[in-house]
Chain A
Amino acid sequence: MAQVTRRPSAWAWVWLVIWAVFSWLPLVATLDFSLRARKGMLSLKAYQNIFADPGFYNSLAFSFQMALLTIVISIFLVVPTAYWVHLRLRRARPLVEFVTLLPFVVPAVVIAFGLIRWYCCPPFAFVSSPLLLVAGYVVLSLPYMYRAADTGLRAIDVCTLTEAAQSLGASNLQTFFLVILPNLRASILSGAFLTFAIVMGEFTLSSLLAWPAFGPYMQYVGVFKAYESAALAIISFALTWLVMLLMLWLVRGWAAARAVTAPR
């Protein structure tokens, strides 16, 4: 049967233009502003200033390290928990989902003060350790990482795959690492990307815990250097896209490696 192709209506174009203006105009304006550091001409001066500032590299490297640590710890904590909930605690799923949404309800500033209050003095004097910041990030990224893992687990028949592996002699750990985890690769990657984006832009926790992260650096630059601040926003945006493309490339590469025309 021939496919009927419908022409998009005029309204569709109107909404598309509104969406494009809403999404891209601020970005284009910021880009334009970032290029006007020299009076009367377009230049990359603001970008040169940013790239010449050691603070940029230091804060970027720090946040990058924190993001990687947060991702690793989040995966380590959240994915087995989500798996266990799917496998053995199905009734507790709504409760666990509610708990994972709490970081949306509790403001970051409350979490920061809570962490400082609880971990400021012995026997839990960790306030000067960057691991406390990572712990805070793990909490902040919990809804995203859990959702991502949960979506991946819903897409596979967790119980049957686990039972199949066990019937073949696999231990719980072998089942998790050889069967479940590889099938969650795409979900975990998307959760990792979201976590990365949150950590790279996070300001409240890192600022209140006094760490030289990328978020406070952007805020600092924004207060004193208008053009450099705009350039930093564009760099940050590009960085985020770069990571997203990297993730897409990884997922597609993995899918392409499996793609052969199926016989029917």
Chain B
Amino acid sequence: MKKRKMFAAVALVASMILSTAACGGSTSGESAGGTVSNETVASGGVSSYVDDDGKVVVNLQREDGIQSLNIWNYTSGPNYMFAEMVFDSLYTSNHGGDCEPLICTGYDLSEDQKEVTLHIAEGVKFFDGSDCDADDVYTEMQYIAEHKDEMALFATNWKYLEKAEKIDDHTVKLYLSEPFFSLDISLAYTYIAKAEEIEQYGASLFSSVETLNGTGKWKLDEWVDGQYLKFSRNTDYWQGGDFSNIDTLYLWFISDPTAQNAAFINGDIDYINNVNVDLKSMLDPVADQCEMNEMVAETMYYLQFKMDGTAPTSDQNLRYAIMHSIDREALCALMGGGVVMNDFYTQHAEGHQDDIPAIEYDPELAKEYLAKSNYNGEELVLLSRSDISYADSIMTAMADYMNQIGIKTRVDMVDTATMNSRRTDGDYDIFMVNLATWDGNALTQNLVPRIVEDMHSSGYVNEELNDKILQAFGDMNKESRTKTLEEVGDMLYDLQGPIVPLMQIIRTSCTRKGLTGMIENPLSGYIFTDVSVEEEYLK
């Protein structure tokens, strides 16, 4: 009996080891599928973009899904991606500051720059075949002017819009309370809906897939919450339906890094938005079928100090001590790659200066600054959000660095809601989060809301600094605006507060060979409005 037991145990353990060892990855064999809604998706290791019915099907991936189709309430990447597929905007943007005319072919500014005359393109069509003209643009702009405070997307973008006026069938005039530099960008986030539908449904216009009536290159066929968005090419697109040869495009929401890689190897998806740095080698077996694109994303991790005059971190020497105590190169290594930021701005943002030296890791100098400071041993709390990639490791390492030079520090990781609440209440010493530099400038998302308006309650007020930031915000001349932003950057560098950038992140996307027409998005990955498949991959 003992022998039999032993044999059974050995057999079981051996089979388990074998099955585990078998997990090296392979490209051979037929794919089990990825079949959804009776349509075959790419399968079989080497993805065949053509399905059984002869249709070209491409599968893309993002980490986070969308919760709503309401394009007026967007604040995150996947939402914008959906919006720009289905709805054409007045201008088009690559999210890096480069804007081109689209529905609006151009505009004229009055002398005081408070009146903007928009010229609307001819021949723009909605999905239902009706014309998109000045009526639709006027109705939407007027709706925005009246409801902007309720609309997340427009609360900032059209902050200064007072009213709209229809001049003729292809001209609309906007009246602004103040001129602002980001007019092109605001036009690029204004996705046009149909006038009658805006009047009839208001904000409920985007409540279902069936009611979506855009002018964009792709029609949304299906949205399965938590799973995918399914688009079909708008063959009647007003600028011609031959911009792509893809019939059906899926955007899958897969957040687990192993699952993303497995789906790519298996042929279920053709694009990974960001390959996890620790799992890159998993894709080695399919390296000949894909292209990895490593890019420094215009997204930074930053620290915000409480600077209300009573908090210990109000002391400039303490902030310098903290910044010199942190080895940011090591933090980048911890994240699997990153770039230490030398000044306040990300690499491609207006105002960035390459020649400014980054604050160096120098524990001895940090101790000197600490000795000069008024710090008297109180415990500092490093606050961060648990859903930010690598935040817990970064926070732990930072606390360790600070403790080593004698700053008593502990880490507090919280969820998003708690973080938002504590930031609003100013209940922190130092917090760390990440922030994307949308549209190549730090003004709309960073400097104006976070420093001038102090939306996260740092308590710091500097009229001279605020004036300079607002001067840049209202300056439509790029050259002088950049100069002002450099001055702002210098002031913030000297202060090392209330916001101090740490590093920019590196993201790696993985694209199956054959996909073309993708527009690089400086924030990460690509814009897919013009995605297509090379002819040789369709054979």
The answer to whether A and B assemble together is no
A→B interface (CB under 8 Å): none
B→A interface (CB under 8 Å): none
